[in-house]
Structure 1
Amino acid sequence: MPTLEDLKGYAERATGLRRPGKRKATDFAQARKPQTVRFKDDGLIPNHPRWSLVIYRRAVNLDERYDPAAEIEDLFEANGWGDTWRNGIYDYVHYHSQIHEVLGIARGKGRVRFGGKKGRIFTLKAGDFAILPAGTGHQCLGADDDFLVIGAYPPTGTYDECKTVEDRPRALKTIPKVPVPRKDPVYGTGGPLSKIWRKVK
């Protein structure tokens, strides 16, 4: 059943109201130094064998003229990341074994643990982005009532959700095969992501 945020998103797409559009959305990205963290396989959550979680803090100017959710959606779509959704982050540990994911915070703040139970906790706030290579465990530990996340995926890969030890054998085979995205979801062509992920062998 669609949520209120989903209905709002449908209405904004139909009317164009409070949306900057893909062309203008890229103007709101602000250059930030990426924070990177690598996680080891913890026995349940594989994480990625080579690539790190990438976090950009306050990487977008959330302009008051636009819905922050729509602004982030348009930014992701301008950079070729699609299948956007509006929601929170699940409160149980899970990962995707066949696709990378980006999480953009539109409102509020939340405490999110990446890397599985032995991973690391980050507080993510409006304007922050986390780019998760396939296999990266993630779980929301607590959040403001208005915490709103926009998620998206690169054009190559298939969405799946893994959370049990039975998912591991297949995941260990598929995770390393997911290719580096052609564009950074926040900064597009020439953004830091491809350099960060390519330089690690």
Structure 2
Amino acid sequence: MSTTSSPAVDVIHLDSDGYSPNGKPHSLPALHYRSPYGGDADTAGGSEQADFPSDKAKELVERRGWQPSWEFGMYRQAHYHTTTHELLFVLRGDASIMLGGSDQRDILLIPAGYTHRSLESSHDFTMLGCYPRGAASWNMRYPNVNGCRYDVDEIVKLVDGAHKKALFDAQDPVKGQGQERGEGVLDRTWFREAAAH
């Protein structure tokens, strides 16, 4: 595992452990945006500890090409998705997440194949789960040495192949609005990597 940081974003690279693909099929890192809207009175209500309004979160991600799908916590069972990438927008509560933790109003962008789970969470922990508009419906896979190789092939076929346009239409969930391509962390880390393959 390697992690690099900018002032508000952790870039997390994970290799396959033989049970979960993680970054093996496409070399894309997970992105952890730390409180990108924290303290913004117009966006989050002005309080560092305030809940993030669900309707405002939906509006923000929809403008950037992400389709809100559900509001819930995170499963405690380790799992990953082979059909789509996943954007998790923390609305309230707090939790320790397998991919580096997630405090109130953090955003975690998880590439297809990256295993993730909740280690612990507050009773009110809620996230908004989003997927690139036009991508395949999300599925559930569980770490398994026998299925890992097949799942890598499925990610390459579906996410890096058939549904690649949906990823390229989605913008950085934090820095997408009003910016040219190439300016957000998503552009600098994912799109350049994907274009190279």
Q: TM-score range by the shorter chain?
A: 0.7 to 0.9
Secondary structure of residue in 1 paired with 2:70: strand
Moved more, 190-199 or 41-50: 190-199
The match for 1:131 among 87, 109, 120 is: 109
Are the aligned partners of 1:110 and 1:141 in contact in 2 as well (CA < 8 Å)?
yes
Query: Which residue matches 1:154?
Result: 132
The match for 1:175 among 121, 145, 155 is: 155
AA aligned opposite 2:130: A
Q: TM-score normalized by structure 2?
A: 0.74
Are the aligned partners of 1:47 and 1:135 in contact in 2 as well (CA < 8 Å)?
yes
Query: Which residue matches 1:93?
Result: 78
Query: Cα distance, 1:53 vs. partner?
Result: 0.6
Are the aligned partners of 1:102 and 1:151 in contact in 2 as well (CA < 8 Å)?
yes
Quick check: 1:41 aligned with 2:16?
A: yes
Moved more, 133-142 or 60-69: 60-69
Root mean square deviation of aligned Cα: 2.3
Query: Which residue matches 1:112?
Result: 97
The match for 1:184 among 166, 172, 178 is: 172
Secondary structure of residue in 2 paired with 1:125: coil
Query: Which residue matches 1:59?
Result: 36
Whole-angstrom CA distance in 2 between matches of 1:164 and 1:141: 16
Are the aligned partners of 2:8 and 2:35 in contact in 1 as well (CA < 8 Å)?
no
Query: Cα distance, 1:146 vs. partner?
Result: 1.2
Query: Which residue matches 2:3?
Result: none
Secondary structure of residue in 2 paired with 1:124: coil
Moved more, 165-174 or 51-60: 165-174
Whole-angstrom CA distance in 2 between matches of 1:102 and 1:77: 12
Gaps of at least 5 residues in structure 2 are: 1-5
Whole-angstrom CA distance in 2 between matches of 1:72 and 1:150: 8
Moved more, 51-60 or 74-83: 74-83
Secondary structure of residue in 2 paired with 1:70: helix
Whole-angstrom CA distance in 1 between matches of 2:143 and 2:33: 29
AA aligned opposite 1:186: V
AA aligned opposite 2:113: G
Moved more, 67-76 or 134-143: 67-76
Give the direction of change, closer, same or farther, for the CA distance of 1:63–1:83 in structure 2 (3 Å limit).
Answer: closer
Gaps of at least 5 residues in structure 1 are: 1-30, 115-121
Query: Cα distance, 1:67 vs. partner?
Result: 5.8
Secondary structure of residue in 2 paired with 1:141: strand
Whole-angstrom CA distance in 1 between matches of 2:29 and 2:13: 4
Written as runs of structure 1 = structure 2, the 5 A alignment for 1:1-80 is 33-49=8-24, 50-60=27-37, 61=40, 62-64=43-45, 68-80=53-65
